[in-house]
Structure 1
Amino acid sequence: MTDVIQATKRDSTGTAATRRLRRDGHVPAVLYGHGEANEHLAIPHAQVKGLLRHHSRMVKLTGDVNETALVSEMQWDALGIEVLHMDLIRVNLKEKIEVTVSVELHGEAIGTREGGILLENVREVEIRCAADSIPESLVLDINDLHLGQNATANQLKLPEGVELITDGETVLAHVEAPRGEGDSGEAQVGSEPEVISKGGAGEDEDA
């Protein structure tokens, strides 16, 4: 999805200027890329909230600039509530770019009915695709995942035209026995995996 947002050029870029900008209901942003000069912009805070609601990665800038851009990065406040700054990259909608997208688990791992715990090791992967075809997320079917088994990036459902950059052998999720109830060493585990479900609780997890 591509959101249309109003962009105003700004001349002042210091700390005091950006604070005034935020008090006036705008988010400072920088547009760069394609060998062109950087543009320092102000985006209405309400429109930034719209981007977050829609999970938009692509934006159409209007107003002082007329560009299509990819939301590259957002800087948040200490509480993770308000966006303090945005980085935007100029793109051609048909050019291929590399982006990070979330992984969405679908189904109920059969291993959880075998007494195991479903653990999510990696929640995002890197892909390459056309700028106008960035998926919101990629689906990983875990229905056939037994106790002691794992699911890798190779098992993701990739839309047409989407290429996986992350190593296909990267373990995204696995099912292991609870501690003290058997050896879970057969499963390949990553660092500090997140517990998703135990026993019969195998609901889908939003990425």
Structure 2
Amino acid sequence: MKANLSVHYSNFNWEKKMAEYYQLTVENREKIGTSEAKSLRKNGKIPANYYYKDTSNINLSIDEKELNQVLHSGQRIFEVHLAGETQFVMFKDIQYHPVTDDVIHVDLMRVRRDEKMTITVSIRLEGDAEGVKQGGVLSQIMNSIDIECFPTDVPEFISLDISDLVVNSSKSVADLIVDSKLTILAEGDQVVTTCHPPREEEEIEVEVKEGEEVEGEAAAEEGEEKAESDAGSEESTE
């Protein structure tokens, strides 16, 4: 179960961390239907739908090249101009071609600047872990996390300093330092990253070699005993 958790705050200049919104150009689409959608794609346009609460959806089109740039920008919230005003939107759904993997349709959902929203952002590890310098292995268990905030406060990512992470230790959600405008929706004891010792391959190899030597010594002793026994039998025969 998720619980609201307001973790550490600092006086860091968070304005630099907040995403600068990409202005996505959209055009109204009068005609709808499969044939019209195919015609749009042939002309470098991708059909789109715009949704907001109880209002009727709006049919739009987006330039294919611009859409691909947006999808690879790493941002989650975008600005669009509709009905003479600037609005904030995020992708509600993206449909891909099953063979070419090209985008064939997108759904946009409006988010209001004065209404908080829940969104997933990535967690970025920063710094060189002390444990890795000592030969440890770093593992990131949690790559993203849900937060609640206003659309204008969505960060591109949340960073976690791991420079003091030593072998056999971990950092959890409670170690994340976020702006007071953000609320993390996760339990504080959830592990984000760990540093554990390397596999003891060398010791295993040594143990195997030692075992082989013991078996070899036993075989040699057995051979010597057999040789002595055979020699004794020959002497008795003579």
TM range (shorter): 0.7 to 0.9
- Label 1:40 to 1:112 Cα distance change in 2 as closer, same or farther (>3 A): same
2:78 paired residue number: 59
TM-score (norm 2): 0.66
Question: Secondary structure at 2:178's aligned position in 1?
Answer: coil
- Label 1:141 to 1:118 Cα distance change in 2 as closer, same or farther (>3 A): same
1:190 paired residue number: none
2:36 is the counterpart of 1:23: no
2:189 is the counterpart of 1:176: no
Q: Alignment partner for residue 150 of structure 1, among 149, 170, 173?
A: 170
Cα shift at 1:175 = 0.9
CA deviation map 1:76-111 (0-9, x unaligned): 456897433322211221221100001111001111
Q: Which amino acid aligns with 2:47?
A: P
Question: Secondary structure at 1:36's aligned position in 2?
Answer: coil
TM-score (norm 1): 0.75
Higher fraction of helix: 2
CA distance in 2 between partners of 1:110 and 1:81 (Å): 42
Q: Percent same amino acid among aligned pairs?
A: 26
Q: Alignment partner for residue 110 of structure 1, among 130, 148, 164?
A: 130
Q: Which has the larger radius of gyration?
A: 2
Asked if the contact 2:88–2:151 (Cα under 8 Å) also holds between the matched residues in 1, the reply is no
1:35 paired residue number: 54
Asked if the contact 1:99–1:128 (Cα under 8 Å) also holds between the matched residues in 2, the reply is yes
Asked if the contact 1:69–1:88 (Cα under 8 Å) also holds between the matched residues in 2, the reply is no
Question: Secondary structure at 1:37's aligned position in 2?
Answer: coil
- Label 1:171 to 1:42 Cα distance change in 2 as closer, same or farther (>3 A): same
Q: Which amino acid aligns with 1:22?
A: R
Asked if the contact 1:7–1:64 (Cα under 8 Å) also holds between the matched residues in 2, the reply is no
Q: How many residue pairs end up in the alignment?
A: 182
- Label 1:166 to 1:16 Cα distance change in 2 as closer, same or farther (>3 A): farther
CA deviation map 1:86-143 (0-9, x unaligned): 2221122122110000111100111112221101111110000111110000001111
Higher fraction of strand: 1
CA distance in 2 between partners of 1:169 and 1:28 (Å): 43
Asked if the contact 1:7–1:65 (Cα under 8 Å) also holds between the matched residues in 2, the reply is no
**Which runs of 5 or more structure 1 residues have no equivalent in the other structure?**
183-207
Asked if the contact 1:10–1:42 (Cα under 8 Å) also holds between the matched residues in 2, the reply is yes
More displaced stretch, 21-30 vs 44-53: 44-53
CA distance in 1 between partners of 2:48 and 2:89 (Å): 12
CA distance in 2 between partners of 1:145 and 1:85 (Å): 44
